[in-house]
A and B are shown apart, each in its own frame.
Chain A
Amino acid sequence: MQSSIRTPYDRVVMAVPVTIPYVRYSVESAQWWIGRALKALVDGAGITPRDIDGFCVSSFTAGLDSGIGLTQHFGLCVRWIDTIPLGGASAIAALRRAARAVQAGDARIVACVAGDTNHVDSFRYTLENFSRFNQDAVYPYGAGGANASFALIARNYMRTFGAKREDFGKIAVAQRSNALRNPDALMKAPLTIERYMSARPIADPIHLFDCVMPCAGAEAFLVMGEDVAASLNLPAARILATIERHNAFGDDPVQVRGGWAVDVDELYAMAGVKPDDLDFVETYDDYPVISMMQFEDLGFCRKGEGPDFVRQHDLTIDGSFPHNTSGGQLSVGQAGAGGAYLGVVEALRQVLGQAGPTQVRDARVGLASGFGMINYDRGLASGAAILAGPGA
């Protein structure tokens, strides 16, 4: 294991995991959802909005508002602000930036929030206006969002490494069984491998249960000093290590790995733990194939061994490799940028022992990752964090 020269996140903690339960469609605005999350943060922490002096927000559907407009909307007076448009990597990036701001004394309590609404036509609008490369060179092909892009990636991965649809199915089925224990999950019906296999094709080899359901919702957490958390009597989690990497492996003709693979050694070196030491893993799961790639790139098995790794493990809450314990985006729903936060917020709950019906027994150390921005032919943004609870 290589040694890390990174400054540890000493005396910085995360607290107050917040999820505003999702709905498939909402007539409310993104601002409404972000507002509910902020309210839950201040209530959960026993503070007032004036105590928040750092604000970090991500949203696809807040229209013209970036973080600065939202400060006036919500009556926040902050001395540190960030708006993070990194899609599925937004939560890891938010955590990293907020933690350093707190550590440096630039802010005392940072509210990290992602919230999105989902009107009947807002998903299509998000697709149409996603990025310049997407507008120029993907959307005109009928791709309609990430489905086609991931179909091309998944098919290449299957052919190259021998993954079968059944292997992806095992990931989706395990997450559904986790989701059935999560009252906030939108998917309430059990999923069998037979049902997964016989689902209608969307873009070969992507079928219905490989896709997330766009929905409205919000997720949030607070980042603050250890002493501040103690003075507020808040259970808090330490940040053992983080990594972030964008536009990695640009020369790979088709994406078979994400940016995690560049920095994974540093992730574990900084955390001082090994992959085996983790009690659970929350990967970014907009499609099962991406979770499988993360098993490889985050060091649980070697490249190409993802399918075997899945075959050999039970990925449910009580299994040998508890994975996406809330049910993940595949079964809870994808609330826009909230999808980035889902795994991070669940990981925080797990290490704090606050996960209730989805709690992994004796969870002390866990990993959450992010992935996002299918700008053209691949996901560009990636990140991961290892969190530790009070008992670790």
Chain B
Amino acid sequence: MIEPIQKPRRKNPLQRTQLPTSPPRARSRASHGFTRAAAEGRFMLQHCGACGTFCYPARDACPACLSADLAFTDAPRRGTLLSETTLHIPADVHFRERAPWRIGLVAMECGPTLVTHLHADCEEGGPVVMSFQLDKSGQAVAFAHPERETPNMTDDRQWREMTADPKFRRVLVTNGRSIVGQEVVAALKTAGASIVFVGVAEPWKPFRGEDALRAMEGVEIVPLDIGDEKSVADLAADVGGKVDILVNTTEHVRAGGLLDRQGTSVVRDEIDQSYLGFVHLAQAFGSSMRMRGSDGVNSAAAWVNILSVYALANWPAFGAYSASQAACLSLSHCLRAELRSGGVKVVNVFTGPLDIEWFQTVPPPKVAPRAVASAIVSALKRGLEDVFVGDVAEEIRQRLAANPKAVERELGA
């Protein structure tokens, strides 16, 4: 049984910060099928289109019939833990400082055998349920879970290395004025975040929901205007060393594309708030988060962006807004690459139009701010990297996979 983790005490500033190390990162190109599965929280194996064999590790031909038709397919997750070992003296630096570390051999009901990390409650000879996770190198690894829920199971030491669980972590939510921001704060507190800093621009101006926000224990309102480089830098100077999770809830939505607008002032606002705001945040908070990626129970763990799903395919009715989101998406991949050496995840939460005033004219279905908040917490707890919230976002994801040209024509119809 897992002992619950304890809330970390205040850090002794004289003690060395444990520097992040990466588990082995090299993978074959085919193996990144698992990276994709892990990013979305799916369990996929290669499945032979010719003979139906599931295989593992990643191959370029089926070991049963030599067909090259080996698509990654959602696969049954159940298996049996055949054998396990506890590594006491691993050769690799990353695992050496985390030893003892438990791994095992799982025979999947669908056929293949997986070398896997183990949750502590997995028992040899017993049933397990598998997932692929992104480890501290950002690459996919197999992880075996007990079949049923066990006490304190999310506190498992090896599991916590794969996730960015908010429990006992300190969070910065960048926009407390928005409904989404307020819902995210509430959800993170419920998930056990020890403190949530909430950015509010010009905090002397009252806003809806302010009283509820101020009444929450462990929530601290801090001045933050992310379009203003100095404001962001000032906040980082105050709290930058104790932000373990950053949730960028910046929201700057305006309707319109190119031809029905005069001049560039609206476009510039969109870029200033969404894109440059992201740049300011990354430059102010990114490097200290990367430095603190292995800093114990409340190590820096994740950076979350809320992006419109129209970052992936322009929606001309909100065309300039879509472009600003596409710029943020591109930048998020840059940030992801730069934070990877610290083991800090970048989570992109893609959403369709939110049920907020700026999408007043858009017909349902729309996404409730609370749904975005709970998707963020779920992604952090499960260690995901790409999340689609709501029916619109999920539909766009599927349509893009099928035919991006059709999506372009239909959104522009």
Taking CB atoms, residues of chain B closer than 8 Å to A153 are 83
Instruction: Indicate whether A200 sits within 8 Å of B88 (C-beta atoms), given known contacts A142-B23, A156-B82.
Output: yes
B22 to chain A, nearest CB (A): 10
The verdict on A301 contacting chain B, using a C-beta distance below 8 Å, is no
**A151, B101: Cα distance in complex, Å:** 13
**Proximity string of chain A (116-147) to chain B, C-beta cutoff 8 Å, 1 when within and 0 when not:** 00000001100110001101111111111101
Q: Are B31 and A136 in contact (CB under 8 A)?
A: yes
The verdict on B90 contacting chain A, using a C-beta distance below 8 Å, is yes
The verdict on B230 contacting chain A, using a C-beta distance below 8 Å, is no
The verdict on A202 contacting chain B, using a C-beta distance below 8 Å, is yes
Q: Which of B28, B89, B101, B107 contacts A200 (CB 8 A)?
A: B89
Taking CB atoms, residues of chain B closer than 8 Å to A203 are 85-90
Q: Which of B103, B135, B142 contacts A148 (CB 8 A)?
A: B103
Q: Are A253 and B82 in contact (CB under 8 A)?
A: yes
Q: Are B31 and A254 in contact (CB under 8 A)?
A: no
For window 328-379 of A, CB contacts with B under 8 Å fall at 376-377
For window 134-158 of B, CB contacts with A under 8 Å fall at 135, 137, 139, 141-142
Taking CB atoms, residues of chain A closer than 8 Å to B86 are 201, 203-204
Q: Which of B88, B117, B141 contacts A204 (CB 8 A)?
A: B88
- Which residue from chain B places its CB closest to the CB of A149 in the assembled complex? B115
Q: Which of A137, A145, A159, A206 contacts B115 (CB 8 A)?
A: A137
**Proximity string of chain B (92-110) to chain A, C-beta cutoff 8 Å, 1 when within and 0 when not:** 1011001101011101000
Taking CB atoms, residues of chain A closer than 8 Å to B94 are 142
Taking CB atoms, residues of chain A closer than 8 Å to B103 are 141-143, 148, 152
**A156, B82: Cα distance in complex, Å:** 7
Instruction: Indicate whether A141 sits within 8 Å of B88 (C-beta atoms), given known contacts A135-B28, A148-B103, A153-B83.
Output: no
Taking CB atoms, residues of chain B closer than 8 Å to A127 are 91
Taking CB atoms, residues of chain B closer than 8 Å to A303 are none
Q: Which of A136, A250, A376 contacts B27 (CB 8 A)?
A: A136
Q: Are B31 and A142 in contact (CB under 8 A)?
A: no
Q: Are A133 and B91 in contact (CB under 8 A)?
A: no
- Which residue from chain A places its CB closest to the CB of B102 in the assembled complex? A204
The verdict on A155 contacting chain B, using a C-beta distance below 8 Å, is yes
Q: Which of A123, A140, A254 contacts B141 (CB 8 A)?
A: A140
Q: Are B141 and A145 in contact (CB under 8 A)?
A: no
Taking CB atoms, residues of chain A closer than 8 Å to B114 are 137
Query: Among B23, B89, B124, B139, which residue has the most Cβ atoms of chain A within 10 A?
Result: B89
The verdict on B57 contacting chain A, using a C-beta distance below 8 Å, is yes
Q: Are A254 and B82 in contact (CB under 8 A)?
A: yes
For window 146-180 of A, CB contacts with B under 8 Å fall at 147-149, 151-153, 155-156, 159
Taking CB atoms, residues of chain A closer than 8 Å to B88 are 200-204
Taking CB atoms, residues of chain A closer than 8 Å to B99 are 142
Q: Are A135 and B95 in contact (CB under 8 A)?
A: no
Q: Are B101 and A142 in contact (CB under 8 A)?
A: yes
Q: Are A141 and B117 in contact (CB under 8 A)?
A: yes
The verdict on B24 contacting chain A, using a C-beta distance below 8 Å, is yes
On chain A, which size bracket covers the interface? 35 or more
Taking CB atoms, residues of chain A closer than 8 Å to B87 are 142-144, 147-148, 202-203
Q: Are B26 and A135 in contact (CB under 8 A)?
A: yes
On chain B, which size bracket covers the interface? 35 or more
B385 to chain A, nearest CB (A): 17
Q: Which of A128, A149, A152 contacts B84 (CB 8 A)?
A: A152
**Proximity string of chain A (199-213) to chain B, C-beta cutoff 8 Å, 1 when within and 0 when not:** 011111110000000
**A203, B88: Cα distance in complex, Å:** 6
Taking CB atoms, residues of chain A closer than 8 Å to B56 are 137
Q: Are A254 and B105 in contact (CB under 8 A)?
A: yes
Instruction: Indicate whether A141 sits within 8 Å of B141 (C-beta atoms), given known contacts A136-B57, A152-B105.
Output: yes
Q: Which of B27, B83, B90 contacts A142 (CB 8 A)?
A: B90
**A363, B350: Cα distance in complex, Å:** 75
Instruction: Indicate whether A135 sits within 8 Å of B116 (C-beta atoms), given known contacts A202-B89, A203-B85.
Output: no
Taking CB atoms, residues of chain B closer than 8 Å to A132 are 28, 57
A90 to chain B, nearest CB (A): 23
The verdict on B113 contacting chain A, using a C-beta distance below 8 Å, is yes
**A156, B139: Cα distance in complex, Å:** 29
**A153, B82: Cα distance in complex, Å:** 10
Q: Are B83 and A156 in contact (CB under 8 A)?
A: yes
Instruction: Indicate whether A128 sits within 8 Å of B24 (C-beta atoms), given known contacts A136-B31, A203-B87.
Output: yes
**A144, B90: Cα distance in complex, Å:** 6
- Which residue from chain B places its CB closest to the CB of A144 in the assembled complex? B91
The verdict on B266 contacting chain A, using a C-beta distance below 8 Å, is no
Q: Which of B63, B82, B116 contacts A141 (CB 8 A)?
A: B116
Taking CB atoms, residues of chain A closer than 8 Å to B124 are 155, 159
The verdict on B331 contacting chain A, using a C-beta distance below 8 Å, is no
Q: Are B92 and A144 in contact (CB under 8 A)?
A: yes
**A143, B86: Cα distance in complex, Å:** 10
**A18, B86: Cα distance in complex, Å:** 39
Q: Are A140 and B85 in contact (CB under 8 A)?
A: no
For window 175-206 of A, CB contacts with B under 8 Å fall at 200-206
A155 to chain B, nearest CB (A): 5
Taking CB atoms, residues of chain A closer than 8 Å to B255 are none
For window 268-295 of A, CB contacts with B under 8 Å fall at none
**A249, B63: Cα distance in complex, Å:** 13
New A-B pairs, 8, CB < 8 Å, besides A142-B95, A143-B103, A204-B85: A132-B28, A139-B26, A142-B23, A142-B92, A142-B103, A152-B82, A203-B85, A203-B87
Q: Which residues of B contact A (CB under 8 A)?
A: 23-28, 31, 56-58, 63, 82-92, 94-95, 98-99, 101, 103-105, 107, 113-117, 124, 135, 137, 139, 141-142
Q: Could you pull out 21 A-B pairs where Cβ atoms are within 8 angstroms?
A: A124-B91, A127-B91, A128-B24, A135-B24, A137-B58, A137-B114, A138-B115, A141-B115, A141-B116, A142-B23, A142-B99, A143-B115, A148-B103, A149-B115, A152-B83, A152-B84, A155-B83, A156-B83, A253-B105, A254-B83, A377-B113
Which 9 A-B pairs have CB atoms at the shortest separation, nearest pair first? Answer: A144-B91, A142-B95, A151-B85, A137-B57, A156-B83, A136-B31, A142-B90, A152-B83, A144-B90
Q: Which residues of A contact B (CB under 8 A)?
A: 123-124, 127-128, 132-133, 135-145, 147-149, 151-153, 155-156, 159, 200-206, 250, 253-254, 376-377
